[in-house]
Structure formats: structure tokens, C-alpha cells
Structure 1
Amino acid sequence: MSRHHTGAMLCGLIRLELVGVTVPVLERDDARIYYRDSKKGSPLVLLHEYFGTGESWNGQRHVLARGYRVIIPDLRGHGRSVADRNDRLTVSTLADDTLALLDKLEIRSAHFAGCSLGAIVALRIAQTARSRIDSLMLSGVPDITESGPQAYGADYAKQVFPKIEETLSQRHGSGDRAYVRDMLLRNFEMDLEEKPADHFGAFQQAGSVDAPTLLISGQHDPVFSPQAAVNVSARMRHSSLAVLPDTGHLVHLEMPGLVTELMLDHLARSAR
């Protein structure tokens, strides 16, 4: 695969082979955002982690779709969503992409669930477009209010990226994964240095979130430890917290059934 186009490389990170299936797409600026839409029920948007795709929610989406309209985008620069080679994958851009998708689907508000990067994006939307959020479910949320963005970034890169890389290798083979991983990591680190407020400032304003929020922490998550979860929860007005034993950063992949149950319970309580 040619490396002259970053978007093509990112798209090649996880290749989805769909024969005879039309995949919906949002065209925005210079990007093409692919997504799934179950079309029926109250809208529920699922946002994936760094290096992931919407496929990471396969352990939840079928059950959730029985009662909700499940919408799962591949975030810009991930999976089938192509980004321009000069794109900066900032939280603001990803949040705007997600809101543009809701506009395209003529959805005024939705429930949101996000893991890691997806959690950051969902929280940003909750702060900049509060009326679009019915409820939040967040896991792998980095709490950088004490350590600062650079310390967080170093810890994330050292502990979490290799684990995600290993997961991708097991599922999809190597290919150009190492090249793309290094490119994304450089992008991630540059954003931390140049725009820490854009990338993580949302957590310093967590108290401004009005929506009912479920926080899920893995017992051994190096980024969103149980204590970090308590810290974030204490700053939020309407939050509940679940700590899952013997799990790490990607709880929805490690304990899909339990995470699905927690999500359904939170959604039901949020509707009351």
C-alpha cells in the first residue's frame, strides 16, 4: 500500500471487506466518515477508542439495537473513515464530525457512549452542545487535572498503545500497522504539546456536565484507574460509577456482556 496519502494508510489500518453492502457515509470538508445506523429507536451514539473502529462495539451493538437506534461512526482517520494527509485529529474536529452526523440524520439529541478517545469526544460534545446529549456512558477516561497532559500522554503512550497494537495485530494482521501506529502517536503527542486544552481541557470542566453520566473503570486501567474515576465522578453533578474487576483500559472488549448490562441499566434510569 502506498504511503503518500495518510488517509489511505489510516483506512488500511483495519480493512472492512463488505461485499454487496452499501455503507453510509458523511462527507464533511475533506473527510469521509463511515457509520452504522440501526435506524429504529431512541438514538444512541457509540464512539470508539484510539486505533479502533466502530467494530469494537460489536459486543454491545446487537443487544442495544433491540431497543435503541444505534449509530456507530468510524472516527475521522480510523477504519474506513478517510482523513486528508494534513488533517490534525483534534478532539474539536472529531466532536464536530459527530455533530454533523447527527445533523445529517436529523437527530436533535442522543445518548452517547465512548471509550478512551471516544469518551473525550463525547464529553467535549456534552460541554459545547449540551442540548444534544441525553445521557453519557464513559470508560477509559483520562484524568489529567493533577498530572498534566504531558505526563498523561507519556503514560498513555507507554502503557496503552502497545496493548492496543497487540489487539489489532491479533485481529487483523500486521500490514502497515506499525507505520500507522507511529504516525498516530506523533499526531497524539503533538496535540498534547500544542493544544492540551483542546485535547483534554474537558475534564477540568467536568462539573459543567448536566447529563446523567455513567463512568466505568477497569480495575487495572493504567489511564482511568478506580481512583481517577472517583476524582472525575466527584466533579460531575449526576454521575454513577462502576469499577470492573480484572479488567484494563478497554472494558467493553474485555467484559462485553457486563458492560452491555450496565449501559442498558443506565439508559433505562436516564429515561425516567
Structure 2
Amino acid sequence: MTNGGGGRAARYRDLMQLYSRSAGSGLPVVLLHAFPLSSAMWLAQREGLAPVCRVITPDLRGFGGTMLGDDEPSIDLMADDVAHLLDQEGVDRAVVGGLSMGGYVAMALCRRHPDRVRGLILADTKAQADPEPARANRERIAAAVLESGTGILVTESLPPMLGATTRERRGMVIGRVRGLVQAAPPAAVAWAQRAMAARPDAFGTLRSLTVPALIVVGDEDELSPLPDARAMAEAIPQARLAVIEKAGHLSAIEQPEAFNRVVAEFVKSLD
């Protein structure tokens, strides 16, 4: 157990135990998955980054191998789950990265548990809170999924998650992402949508960061485009921005080699 472990164990005893997959050794790097996927999305990162660091990829609440529980939807609670996971893994501080929804959780972790963060990776995400139309749309999708299943995610949510190049040329990637989307439990989808709708603006958290950060964005990302990435990079005192060419919102899946390269360079710079 790490320093202060007894107190932390008591503090987090009621939180969710996250199922996770790990690979490699060295500096711990926790990667938090996008909505509505699971840690399965990080397969290429576990393989490609294992020679550089210890990659830890948990399933967030309700997704993959992790139970949902009975708590009210909350990104903050998801961040507390990750802090609890660090205790279980015997990790005092880690590089914490997240893509899309995972980025929201990573920023909440920086706000709630800054002492646990050695570095920050934000990929294809944004720091601003949802405006009212976006919140209403999340609630519409949550209600539809609970009533009729995840088909609406395949028809409405999946296409803009992938860049134009992927939609035109990468049929295997499309099929893989579709399978991950279809595997998402409806209750978890609705819970996560409502948690994301209620999340606060994170720019204050980013401005107060005292650790280095890497901002990654696909140049074809339609959901969290380059201006959002630039705004986060400009807010963080120690940030670098990496643009992944011919990738959309799921840059880690669409262009895994390029994604792994910029992450590996960032992690090595922290040693």
C-alpha cells in the first residue's frame, strides 16, 4: 500500500471496484476509455506502449467488466473510482489520460485528487460544460436507449465518432467500433450520458495544473475539434499539442501508431 493507504482505503471503501487490463512496467499510465466503449478500445495502446510504461486500462462504471451500481450519475464519482483503482494497484501517482468521456473523468481526477496525477493526457475531448441543447440531447438519447436499446447509438452516435478517412477507407475499424458500441449495456449508456450532461466546466482545473500535459486531437474530429484542443492547451501552463492526421474522434483506434508515438514521447519526457 502506498503512503496514506490506510486513510485512502477507508475513504474509498464504498466506491466501485473497476475491472482493468494492464501491460508493461515502469511509470504507470492510466488510460480512460471513450463513451460508449470499454477498455477494449486500448488494445493497441497496451501492446504498443508496454515497452515504455505500465499501461493500466480500466472499464469505467457499467462498461466492460465493471458493475454500474446504484449511485446517481456523476463524472466526479467516476474519478473517485479511478483514485480507488490507483490504491488497489499500489500506485501513488500516475500519468492519467482519457479520450472523450475518459478525458472528462481525467480532468475531474485532477480537480478532486491532484496529488495522484504525475502528468495528464487529454485526447479528443473538451473542457467546457455542455450547453443546454447538448444536455437535452444526452437526455433524449439516455431515454431512448433505456426504452429501445443501443440501436440509436449505431445510427446517430457512431458516424461522427469516426473521421472521414476512416469512414471511407477503414472498414475493419468501423466494424470493430460498431461492435464495441453495440456491446454497451443500455443502463450504463444512460447513466454515463446523464453524468456527462451534469459535468462542470473544467478550465479552472486546467489553469491550476502543476504537471505537464499532452493534448491530442484527430485532425478530422467533428465532436471535439482542433479549436477545443487548442483552448485546453492554452489554458494549461505546461502543455503540448499533438494533431493526429487522418483521424477523427477516436484517434487512438483510427491511427494507433501515431497516437502511441506521441504518448510514448510524452511519457519518456517525464522520466
Q: TM-score, structure 1 length as denominator? A: 0.75
In structure 2, C-alpha distance between the alignment counterparts of 1:210 and 1:28, rounded to whole Å: 28
Retained in 1: the 8 A contact 2:122–2:216?
yes
In structure 2, C-alpha distance between the alignment counterparts of 1:140 and 1:192, rounded to whole Å: 15
Secondary structure at 2:210's aligned position in 1? coil
Cα–Cα, structure 1 residues 172 and 255, in superposed 2: closer, same or farther, change >3 Å?
A: closer
Match of 2:117 among 133, 142, 145: 133
Post-superposition CA distance 1:96-154 (Å, at most 9, x none): 11100111222110111210111111111122222211111111212436xx4334446
Cα–Cα, structure 1 residues 104 and 172, in superposed 2: closer, same or farther, change >3 Å?
A: closer
Secondary structure at 1:248's aligned position in 2? coil
Secondary structure at 1:76's aligned position in 2? coil
Secondary structure at 1:200's aligned position in 2? coil
Cα–Cα, structure 1 residues 241 and 36, in superposed 2: closer, same or farther, change >3 Å?
A: same
Root-mean-square deviation (Å): 2.9
Q: Per-residue deviation at 1:189? A: 4.9
In structure 2, C-alpha distance between the alignment counterparts of 1:153 and 1:119, rounded to whole Å: 18
Q: Percent identity between the aligned chains?
A: 25
Is 1:149 the equivalent of 2:131? yes
In structure 1, C-alpha distance between the alignment counterparts of 2:240 and 2:177, rounded to whole Å: 34
In structure 2, C-alpha distance between the alignment counterparts of 1:44 and 1:101, rounded to whole Å: 12
Q: Per-residue deviation at 1:51? A: 1.3
Secondary structure at 1:44's aligned position in 2? strand
Q: Which amino acid in 1 is paired with 2:92?
A: R
Give runs of aligned pairs for residues 129-208 of structure 1, distance below 5 A.
Answer: 129-144=113-128, 148-153=130-135, 161-163=157-159, 170-171=178-179, 180-181=185-186, 183-184=187-188, 186-191=190-195, 196=198, 199-208=199-208
In structure 1, C-alpha distance between the alignment counterparts of 2:246 and 2:256, rounded to whole Å: 13
Match of 1:59 among 23, 39, 44: 44
Secondary structure at 1:96's aligned position in 2? helix
Number of the residue aligned with 1:219: 219
Match of 2:84 among 73, 96, 100: 100
Number of the residue aligned with 2:240: 240
Which consecutive unaligned segments of at least 5 residues does structure 1 have? 1-26
Retained in 2: the 8 A contact 1:76–1:89?
no
In structure 2, C-alpha distance between the alignment counterparts of 1:103 and 1:136, rounded to whole Å: 18
Secondary structure at 1:135's aligned position in 2? strand
In structure 2, C-alpha distance between the alignment counterparts of 1:236 and 1:187, rounded to whole Å: 30
Q: Per-residue deviation at 1:171? A: 2.8
Match of 1:40 among 13, 25, 28: 25
Number of the residue aligned with 1:229: 229
Cα–Cα, structure 1 residues 82 and 202, in superposed 2: closer, same or farther, change >3 Å?
A: same
Number of the residue aligned with 2:166: none
Number of the residue aligned with 1:72: 57
Cα–Cα, structure 1 residues 102 and 56, in superposed 2: closer, same or farther, change >3 Å?
A: same
Retained in 2: the 8 A contact 1:120–1:200?
no
In structure 2, C-alpha distance between the alignment counterparts of 1:36 and 1:93, rounded to whole Å: 20
Q: Which amino acid in 2 is paired with 1:229?
A: A
Secondary structure at 1:40's aligned position in 2? coil
Secondary structure at 2:253's aligned position in 1? helix
Q: Which amino acid in 1 is paired with 2:57?
A: I
Match of 1:120 among 80, 86, 104: 104
Post-superposition CA distance 1:210-267 (Å, at most 9, x none): 2111101112222221111111111110001112222211100000000000000111
